[in-house]
Structure 1
Amino acid sequence: MPLHVPPAPAPALRSVLTALSSPTAVREARTPSLRAAQGPVSPDVPLPVHELDHAATEPAPATGAATKLIGWRFLIRCGERAVAAAETMLTPDGWAFSHFCEGPYIASAERALRHAEAMPQSYQPRLLSVPELYMLTLWLHGDRGTDAASGPLAPTDILVPLAPAPPGITAHRPHRAADLLPVLTHRLTPAPLLGSPA
């Protein structure tokens, strides 16, 4: 079934278009793949980027784990393939361009999105970041009509870790949030200190 890709805020899209059309308009340099792109480039597949509030996952609540929106990421296409991504962030003045990036997460996100398109159920795609684990997942939110900027990570939502995934977590293997959150919570919980000398 097709994914229900949420529309990005207009100022976020405008900031990316400005950064692409006028390299001098932003301080952030273009990535090597953007500089080497043969032909026009354009933003595609806007995905809201949420960060997991791991303090709210202990224990993982039955109603879902708390997240916060930290930005929007656009895949940047040249022809049929994504060559980079552009990130935007929320500032006191509204949405603004943050930076361009490239690397393994770009191809991994494209692959995960293709697999999600082939799933029998339709989802709203998002990205979920777990910065403490250097982990990014494709978050397939079951409530397609909800505002992409809000809503908890529901236990029945699907998380697809993108490559490279942390050790012990298989990239591109879909997990129900209720199954993966305890693993993440365990890794995010500091180990107890051993008894101190008397």
Structure 2
Amino acid sequence: MPLHVPPAPAPALRTVLTALGSPTAVREARTPSLRLAQGPVTPELPLPVHVLDRITPAGASATPPAAPPPPRPAGCRFLIRSGDRAVAAADTMLTPDGWAFSRFFEGPYVTATELALRQAETMQQPYQARLLSVPELYMLTLWLHGDCAADGATGHPAATDLLVPLAPAPPGIAAHRPYLVTELLPVLTHRVTPAPLLSSPA
């Protein structure tokens, strides 16, 4: 399989397994699909999560669009599988005291992540799977990194990496279409560039 998912940090996986084994944690998670799942549920596909906190507006920096600011590692997200599909996801985060469970959740991004991973498995070139969040645009992408041996918790998008926007994507950006970083970043930069102020009529 050309798609490579980095192994989960063992302490992060333990926090998710502990939460799944806690009736209180599952009940308070407000994820009906997880509570109603029949049979065992298992955490799979631990994806490193990175956050692009700031997109530089066009014209505000000499940094070329092909060199985005480095994203911030934010944790690890597991898909929670029941039977043949993912019914929820679990987020973990690295704290000063080590890995900690953050939350269970469900919704469109769970289904979209599973779909994007299946699509990526059909690609000819091998990639390492990560998630890249763009909070300024309320956007989440599957980040397909070209260096499969890299540490999944470090690094920045290379010009030849692919970003696959997950549904729901921002208006005008096609969900589940692979974009080169050099192709998508200028679009994102344009989205956060303030519109020029119209001058008052004389």
- Answer whether TM exceeds 0.5 for this pair: yes
Aligned with 2:4: secondary structure? coil
Q: Identify the match of residue 121 of structure 1 among 111, 119, 125.
A: 125
Comparing 92-101 with 23-32, greater Cα deviation is found at: 23-32
Whole-Å Cα distance in 2 between the matches of residues 26 and 96 of structure 1? 16
**Counterpart residue identity of residue 103, structure 1:** G
The CA RMSD over aligned residues, in Å, is 2.2
Does the C-alpha gap of structure 1 residues 26 and 82 become closer, same or farther in structure 2, counting only changes over 3 Å? closer
Distance apart, 1:2 and its partner CA: 2.6
How far is the alpha carbon of 1:191 from its aligned partner? 3.0
Structure 2 contact 145–162 (Cα < 8 Å) conserved: yes
Instruction: Provide Cα deviations, 1:33-52, integer angstroms capped at 9, x if missing partner.
Output: 00110110010000001011
Alignment of 1:25-64 (within 5 A): 28-55=28-55, 58=61, 59-60=63-64, 62-63=66-67
Deviation at 1:190, TM superposition (A): 2.9
Unaligned segments of structure 2, at least 5 residues: none
Aligned positions of 1:144-155 closer than 5 A: 144-155=148-159
The answer as to 2:111 corresponding to 1:98 is no
The TM-score normalised by the length of structure 1 is 0.91
Partner of 1:170: 174
Is the 8 Å Cα contact of residues 55 and 192 (structure 2) preserved in structure 1?
no
Q: Percent identity?
A: 72
TM-score (norm 2): 0.90
Question: Would the aligned equivalents of 1:41 and 1:76 in 2 still touch at CA under 8 Å?
Answer: yes
1:78 maps to what in 2? 82
CA contact (8 A) 2:76 2:93 kept: yes
Any conservation in 1 of the 2:20–2:26 contact (CA below 8 Å)?
no
Structure 1 residue aligned with 2:144: 140
On the 8 A contact 2:26/2:35 being kept in 1, the answer is no
1:3 is displaced (CA, Å) by 1.1
Inter-partner Cα distance in structure 2 for 1:193 and 1:52: 27
Q: Which consecutive unaligned segments of at least 5 residues does structure 1 have?
A: none
Amino acid of the residue matched to residue 15 of structure 1?
T
